[in-house]
Structure 1
Amino acid sequence: MKSQKLNNLHIKKIPPLSLYIHFPWCIKKCPYCDFHSYEIKKNISEKKYLKALLIDIELSLPIILNRKIHTIFIGGGTPSLISDTGLDYLLNNIKKLLLLKENISITLEANPSTFEIEKFHSYSIIGINRLSIGIQSFNDKHLNILGRTHNSKQAKYAIEIAKQYFNNFNLDLIYALPKQTLSELILDVNYAIQYSPPHVSLYSLTIEPNTYFFKYPPLSLPNNDKNAIMQDKITNLLKSYYYKNYEISAYSKTGYESQHNLNYWKFGDYLGIGAGSHSKLSFPNYIIRQIRYKNPNTYLKNIFSGNSIAKSKKIKKKYLVFEFMLNALRLKNGFSPNLFFDRTGINIKIIEPKLKNAEKLGLLKRNNKNIKPTTFGRYFLNDLQQIFLND
């Protein structure tokens, strides 16, 4: 009976599918960044890479079986380094290859450097309808520590230009920075608020492996208690301006939640194209993960030989519970037992002992229709998620 529980899935409702497009180059690698990206050392062939992305989609068509794309996100690296004509070429050809949801959300990550700002108007014309701008801070001292290539003046100007051409945009900020005071954090958040962005993402600085900060840790980082105080202050301040904290790091005005990220957090499917990108794709009896070749040159070589996949494997059923919880427990309102079954093909009764344990510890609350983290559980999200690791 036990082995039967751990084998075949029974997914009756295939989840929504998003498209993620990865551009792996940036001007300068930030010391905290663990994303798959490379500093531009010489001119790259934009045309060749964009052509490879389209071949990548063509190679993926048999496996996505004419499924409709619900959201598109172009990330990196720094995808706003792509020319507006290059992006226009890419999006026009994507529309020919894929079935897109009507009024689809198409997000582009952008930085506030001057030559990128100059493209904002063109981006809005060619079909990008949401920008995610990597502000990180309005404090030049902190921008310097973070290794950013822009200054506070450019950050503010970028937002002013974005507001002219986009009804929907996100501002990324980082807090719990080296030597950052609470008053400096409040000033950063207030600067963001004054531009009335529809969406704000606030991430606590974490020191990740394979980063410069991991090798050379910055001094005077706020401790856990100060970090929690900062998080409370952020949430309360944004709440007073009618921003909803719908996910651990995400705040939005009503109707402006990140549809692409919501699909991730609800354990939806995504096709990732581009060097180093990841995919998760569901089928009636199994779920697979794919990884593209990471090195851009290796990726290009393989794409033009008719192969983009470095690794592809089925997710073992025993790992699905943790993977689902890793995402869905980030949502303030949690998830329904029906969503758990729809996305994993697993009866939620199998994890009843773990749910009871999380409840007993005060990390989780639930009823027949909803399971969500408590306020205490959101503070100790890692502990809550780890309860659902496979024994």
Structure 2
Amino acid sequence: MSASFVRPVDDEPGFGIYVHWPFCAAKCPYCDFNSHVRHRPVDEERFARAFAAELAHMRQRTGPRAVTSVFLGGGTPSLMRPETVGAVLDAIAKQWTVPDGIEVTLEANPSSVEAERFRGYRAAGVNRVSLGVQALDDADLKFLGRLHSVAEALAAIELARETFPRLSFDLIYARPQQSLESWESELNRAIDLAADHLSLYQLTIEEGTPFFALHAARKFAVPDTDHAAELYRLTQEVTAERDLPAYEISNHARPGAESRHNLTYWRYGEYVGVGPGAHGRFVEDGARVVTIAERHPETWADCVETHGHGVVDGEMLTRAEEADEFLLMGLRLAEGIDLARYEQLAGRPLSSRSVSLLQEERLVASLGNSRLRATPAGMVVLDALVADLAR
């Protein structure tokens, strides 16, 4: 696959390929993703064969398409050998048309970064890396269960900037006892380090994680709703002032450097998901279908070897369900939604009464006559806003 610099983002929803590598060196206490720790070496050849087989199955379902982005997520894909990454990218190119220069992203943890491995990913076709930095404070990194230090994170960022045309990294804020002043300082430091993209997430306590039990036992406390809202407001102000504005609730980029793959999700495009626990959403025989793969890695591989795929669940969406998903995803974006597309999906326009009421409350705003977006105040209560619009 060609690994040249990505084309500028256009406004097409796109057709992406998501590949889920489910293995991690350690499970972070806040994480509810489908990730697994193995104390023996993973059989990468077996999983590469299974990815290739499931990709072939998905090609039969989607038909011929042109891929607009590839995302290798996890888990920790940077635990894969570059040869495995190359085999997966070659398998994608075998099934669909992959134009030169499309965005190919790989998630990496600073603790698993090596110069030789990064060069191998670059040679395999990866042209964008997303680093799970999460904090620029050693005490908070320890609290978050991360295996790297700030020094290792800084080294990984420098190496990524030297190796790949594009770089993003993640930070988690609204951490215990985090003040506005300390977050502003850390955020400015992150922007100084960032090339063109930052993902900034508030710490959430997800059921089923170690943090959920610890939080319930009052072993730590997160900022209350008002303080979290102030941290969010500060985040938007600082990033906008530093020319890294939000293009989505939690994602910030310089113009043209937005994540093409994630825009496919938010613009309600189509994507194939392969690997343990992966989800997909694409049009098949004129209807949008959802695919959900077996979550347990080795069981998923068994399913693929037996049936040619690991899909264990799925559904065909109704027009109303598609329209609701389109609203929920699209209103996360600063660009908002295309009203004509909503009407096409739902079979009806948005309620003018609901829109007017939300405009009066300054929760939504029109962009000309064709688009609607959530205001900063609306972003904070997005789920309720979507529920009001979908009535």
- TM-score (normalised: structure 2): 0.91
Q: Tell me the SS of whatever aligns to 2:99.
A: strand
Offset of 1:316 from its aligned partner?
A: 2.4
1:175 Cα deviation (Å)? 0.2
1:62 to 60, 79, 83: 60
Per the alignment, residue 288 of structure 2 pairs with 287
Equivalent residues, number: 375
- Partners in 2 of 1:22 and 1:116 — Cα distance? 21
Match of 2:329 in 1: 327
Where do residues 71-220 of structure 1 align in structure 2 (5 Å cutoff)?
Answer: 71-116=69-114, 118-217=116-215, 219-220=220-221
CA contact (8 A) 2:364 2:373 kept: yes
Residue identity matched to 1:364: V
The answer to whether the 8 Å contact 1:132/1:172 transfers is yes
Q: Deviations over 1:323-353 (max 9, x none)?
A: 11110010012022133245x3x23425445
More deviation, 185-194/145-154: 185-194
Superposed CA deviations along residues 329-378 of structure 1, whole A, max 9, x for unmatched, are 10012022133245x3x234254454344334331122521111122212
Gaps of 5+ in 2: 1-11
CA displacement at 1:114 relative to structure 2: 5.0
Q: 1:15 to 1:141 in 2, by over 3 A?
A: closer
The corresponding residue for 2:9 is none
Output the CA distance in 1 between the equivalents of 2:386 and 2:212. Answer: 24
For residues 303-331 of structure 1, give each alpha carbon's deviation from its aligned partner in whole angstroms, at most 9, with x where no partner exists.
01123210121112332232111100100
Q: Distance in 1 between matches of 2:387 and 2:31?
A: 24
Q: Does the 8 Å contact 2:343/2:350 carry over to 1?
A: no
Say which is worse superposed, 25-34 or 40-49, in terms of deviation: 40-49
Distance 2:281 2:112 in 1: 36
Shift of 1:144: 0.7
Aligned partners of 2:98 and 2:150: how far apart in 1? 37
Tell me whether 1:256 sits opposite 2:257 in the alignment: yes
Partner SS for 1:62 = helix
CA distance in 1, matches of 2:210, 2:177: 18
Question: Equivalent residue of 2:32, what SS?
Answer: coil
SS in 2 for 1:109: strand
Aligned to 2:151, the other structure's residue is in SS state: helix
Q: Given residue 51 of structure 2, which amino acid in structure 1 is its aligned partner? A: L
1:310 pairs with one of 312, 319, 322:
312
Structure 1 residue aligned with 2:342:
340
Residue 237 (structure 2) aligns with:
236
- Counterpart for residue 278 of structure 1: 279
Deviation at 1:243, TM superposition (A): 1.0
Structure 1 length-normalised TM: 0.91
Aligned to 1:11: none
CA distance in 2, matches of 1:87, 1:96: 14
Task: Return 5+ residue gaps in structure 1 as ranges.
Answer: 1-13
Aligned to 1:16: 14
1:145 Cα offset (Å): 0.7
Q: 1:114, 1:303 → 2: CA distance?
A: 28
Between 1 and 2, higher relative CO (CA 8 Å, sep ≥ 6) is seen in 1
Are residues 117 and 184 of structure 1, via their aligned partners in 2, closer, same or farther at CA, if it must alter by over 3 Å? farther
- The one-letter amino acid of 1:319's match is E
Match of 1:269 in 2: 270
- In 2, Cα distance between equivalents of 1:291 and 1:282: 15
What does residue 7 of structure 1 align with?
none
In 1: Cα distance, 2:41 partner to 2:112 partner: 19
Identify the range of structure 1 (42-51 vs 87-96) with the bigger mean alpha-carbon deviation. Answer: 87-96
Q: Does 1:379 align with 2:380?
A: yes
Distance, in Å, in 2 between the alignment partners of 1:263 and 1:249 is 16
Which residue pairs with 2:7 in the alignment? Answer: none
Deviation at 1:247, TM superposition (A): 0.7
SS across alignment from 2:100: strand
The residue type equivalent to 1:355 in the other structure is: V
* Partner of residue 301, structure 1: 302
Q: Deviations over 1:81-105 (max 9, x none)?
A: 0001211222223222221133110
Give secondary structure in 1 for the equivalent of 2:98: strand
Q: Using the TM superposition, give the Cα deviation of residue 244 of structure 1 relative to its aligned residue in structure 2, in angstroms.
A: 2.0
Instruction: For residue 38 of structure 1, report the CA deviation from its aligned partner.
Output: 0.8
- 8 Å contact kept, 1:322–1:388: no
Q: Does the 8 A contact of 1:129 with 1:166 survive in 2?
A: yes
Asked if structure 2 preserves the Cα contact closer than 8 Å seen for 1:110 and 1:116, the reply is no
